[in-house]
Structure 1
Amino acid sequence: MPTGLVALLDDVAAIAKVAAASLDDIGVAAARAGTKSAGVVIDDAAVTPQYVTGFHPSRELPMIWKIAKGSFKNKLIFLLPAAVLLGQFAPFLIPIILILGGLFLCYEAAEKVLEWLHVDETTKHDEPAIVEGHGREEEMVSGAIRTDLILSAEIMAIALSEITDEVWWQQGIILAVIGIVITVGVYGAVALIVKMDDVGLHLATENEGVVAAFGRGLVAFMPKLLTTLSIVGTLAMAWVGGGLLVHNIAAVGWHGPEHLIEIISHPLLGLFPESAEMTVGGIAFALLSGILGVLVGAGIAPLVHRFFPHGAEANE
């Protein structure tokens, strides 16, 4: 009896070690896959505040909560099962999906760059006025959730491409972890961003001296932060979108863009010591991928405007 019990305990300990190792592997894979999605995550955080701009401050957090719930539903109910099935039964479609996603990100990035350069006036909008009404609120929340669905699909597809060697249940756990962590992080950050100006206004009006000055500084800083987020989000979209095109076009058999980037970046590597070549190479690839992404996006923007005029306006 003791021998059987000891053997059983040994088996339990062995299973526990395997489970712990699996959890460690899942954590590492989730971190790796989540990092690849960083550009889309930044853009998600930069885009969302526009959907609550113009509403009464008391409605901002409830609207963000509604959008966050929709994002959880997008990732965990709709996209997660589809991604796991795709990874198991049609992994050959992943590069094609990522190419389409890369084109979308390149288009979005190019639209913003063209607007900065005053080349594309179709994305200009008047400043939103204070709006009220349940119908208007629901319309904006629905629009935000639709945009989140596109960005969430990109996040899940990018993450899935990094974990195709995992078994299906590990893929499901990793994608669920990524979906939950990213959603909490993005919408927590959005809630903080949209309420900081209210916090600053409260500090400025209800206090004096240093505290009031800090409040006024916070109010003045928030528009700059939103502008910075928009710029970083645009650059991240161009980098991620261009990178998706380069890697996945190569994956389906055409290595032209990949070789072109290598040819351009190779002379730069000779200017730095060998110990820095990997870092310099990564920076050069990101920069050239971003430039490629903007050029591709600028090329397809007129087609999008022509064939999907309402969709192009809705994305902005």
Structure 2
Amino acid sequence: MPSGLIALLDDISMIAKLAASSMDDVGVAVGKAGTKAAGVVIDDTAVTPRYVTGLSPERELPIIWKIARGSLKNKLLFLLPGAVALSAFAPFLITPILMLGGAYLAFEATEKILEAIAHDHHAEKELLQADTPEELEDRQVAGAVRTDFILSAEIMAIALNELDGMALPQQAAALGLVAVAITVAVYGVVGLIVKLDDIGLHLADRANAASRAIGRALVRVVPKLLKSLSVIGTAAMLWVGGGILLHGMEELGAPAIPHMVHDAAHSVAEAVGGGSIGAALEWIANAIGAAIAGGIVGGIIVLVVKQFHKKPDDQVAAVH
């Protein structure tokens, strides 16, 4: 065999080995990034079901599919290229952009909480003003995709942080895998949650006594679960938004408030002697601290927005 051909085959073999090694690196990075982003993924899963609660049961899965497509579009068409470009050319902008997203989440959550306290159902009235069921559905999907964009940005940022030092093609490949895997996981679980009552009705009609008992239990529990997830979803937006803001302050050289929250949470853990209970309480304390920070920032934004965006009822009252 000519020596040139042998050399070419050796080169091809070396390239194949390097490619395999790179894919292994990407796989490891995807696993680490997915683990780090798990907290935000759980929040995303809790937030989404409230966008289909109260709508026609036969439209639940199609709506979730629409939201999932919007989420995948967010991640692959906008966030992935943006994250890679920022990482390459302007990494200093990543934290401020994330903080803007965190502030938006805090604002949206705080606004919903204040409206619930004041028994202000303005948002629901706006939705009911939709002329057709299709328009109502489109409004719900648009709201869900908008919230998903912020949560997805945080997921991609966490993932990108775990890919530091990798080449741009590897970063892009790993982020793409993270985007697809997390979207499938989140909206697969959401789809299962919102259809649990239908599964319960199906089981309740079975001949087997155990199946009927499980079915009846699901029919009773699922509406309460969905209502709880709606509350948890709002709380999740508040503590995720506040957490993003605290982390951003630390990154930008203003660590006083973040350290105060961390120290307070650590003191709570030490007060119970550490261990698994201490770790759980520390996490809860950190979440409460982040939620308080988010509530303060969100409340300020709500006050500012209300000055520039008067509701029709407020305008009529002002005239009289």
**Structure 1 residue aligned with 2:31:** 31
**Structure 1 residue aligned with 2:210:** 210
1:137 and 2:109 matched: no
What is the rounded CA distance, in whole Å, between the counterparts of 2:274 and 2:48 in structure 1?
42
State the SS of the aligned residue for 1:254: coil
1:74 and 2:42 matched: no
**What letter matches 2:99 in structure 1?**
I
1:185 and 2:177 matched: no
**What letter matches 2:220 in structure 1?**
A
Within 5 A, what are the aligned runs for 1:104-253?
A: 104-111=104-111, 113-114=113-114, 118=117, 121=120, 125=124, 133-205=133-205, 207=207, 209-253=209-253
Q: Deviations over 1:233-271 (max 9, x none)?
A: 344434432332222212222222233235434645655
**Which segment drifts farther, 147-156 or 265-274?**
265-274
**What letter matches 1:296 in structure 2?**
V
What is the rounded CA distance, in whole Å, between the counterparts of 1:271 and 1:232 in structure 2?
27
After TM superposition, the score normalised by the length of structure 2 is 0.77
How many residue pairs align between the two structures? 307
Q: Deviations over 1:12-48 (max 9, x none)?
A: 5544443333323323322333344334433332333
**Structure 1 residue aligned with 2:63:** 63
Give 1:132 deviation, angstroms.
Answer: 6.6
**Which segment drifts farther, 9-18 or 146-155?**
9-18
State the SS of the aligned residue for 1:253: coil
Is residue 50–residue 226 contact of structure 2 (8 Å, CA) maintained in 1? Answer: no
Is residue 53–residue 226 contact of structure 2 (8 Å, CA) maintained in 1? Answer: no
**Which segment drifts farther, 105-114 or 95-104?**
105-114
Is residue 272–residue 278 contact of structure 2 (8 Å, CA) maintained in 1? Answer: no
Q: Deviations over 1:71-122 (max 9, x none)?
A: 2222212222222212211111001012112222333443455567x36746
Is residue 71–residue 148 contact of structure 1 (8 Å, CA) maintained in 2? Answer: yes
Q: Deviations over 1:117-157 (max 9, x none)?
A: x367467748x99x974444344334433333343333333
What is the rounded CA distance, in whole Å, between the counterparts of 2:266 and 2:139 in structure 1?
50
Query: Kindly tell me: are residues 34 and 160 of structure 1, through their superposed partners in 2, closer, same or farther at Cα, counting changes over 3 Å?
Result: same
What is the rounded CA distance, in whole Å, between the counterparts of 2:200 and 2:270 in structure 1?
50
Give 1:301 deviation, angstroms.
Answer: 2.9
1:301 and 2:287 matched: no
What is the rounded CA distance, in whole Å, between the counterparts of 1:90 and 1:26 in structure 2?
23
Query: Kindly tell me: are residues 120 and 260 of structure 1, through their superposed partners in 2, closer, same or farther at Cα, counting changes over 3 Å?
Result: farther
Query: Kindly tell me: are residues 24 and 241 of structure 1, through their superposed partners in 2, closer, same or farther at Cα, counting changes over 3 Å?
Result: farther
Is residue 98–residue 158 contact of structure 1 (8 Å, CA) maintained in 2? Answer: no
Give 1:167 deviation, angstroms.
Answer: 2.1
User: Percent identity between the aligned chains?
Assistant: 50
State the SS of the aligned residue for 2:195: helix
What is the rounded CA distance, in whole Å, between the counterparts of 2:205 and 2:65 in structure 1?
28
What is the rounded CA distance, in whole Å, between the counterparts of 1:286 and 1:248 in structure 2?
16
Give 1:195 deviation, angstroms.
Answer: 1.6
State the SS of the aligned residue for 1:165: coil
What is the rounded CA distance, in whole Å, between the counterparts of 2:248 and 2:182 in structure 1?
24
Question: What do you get for the CA RMSD once the two structures are aligned?
Answer: 3.7
**Structure 2 residue aligned with 1:88:** 88
**Structure 1 residue aligned with 2:22:** 22
What is the rounded CA distance, in whole Å, between the counterparts of 1:213 and 1:17 in structure 2?
56
After TM superposition, the score normalised by the length of structure 1 is 0.78
What is the rounded CA distance, in whole Å, between the counterparts of 2:107 and 2:134 in structure 1?
32
**Which segment drifts farther, 186-195 or 261-270?**
261-270
Is residue 39–residue 233 contact of structure 1 (8 Å, CA) maintained in 2? Answer: no
What is the rounded CA distance, in whole Å, between the counterparts of 1:114 and 1:164 in structure 2?
40
What is the rounded CA distance, in whole Å, between the counterparts of 1:275 and 1:54 in structure 2?
42
Query: Kindly tell me: are residues 302 and 161 of structure 1, through their superposed partners in 2, closer, same or farther at Cα, counting changes over 3 Å?
Result: farther
What is the rounded CA distance, in whole Å, between the counterparts of 1:171 and 1:89 in structure 2?
14
What is the rounded CA distance, in whole Å, between the counterparts of 1:276 and 1:216 in structure 2?
35
**Structure 2 residue aligned with 1:314:** none
Query: Kindly tell me: are residues 247 and 146 of structure 1, through their superposed partners in 2, closer, same or farther at Cα, counting changes over 3 Å?
Result: closer
Give 1:50 deviation, angstroms.
Answer: 3.3
Q: Which runs of 5+ in 2 are unaligned?
A: 312-320
Is residue 47–residue 232 contact of structure 2 (8 Å, CA) maintained in 1? Answer: no
What is the rounded CA distance, in whole Å, between the counterparts of 1:51 and 1:307 in structure 2?
27
Is residue 102–residue 240 contact of structure 1 (8 Å, CA) maintained in 2? Answer: yes
State the SS of the aligned residue for 1:67: helix
Is residue 43–residue 230 contact of structure 1 (8 Å, CA) maintained in 2? Answer: no
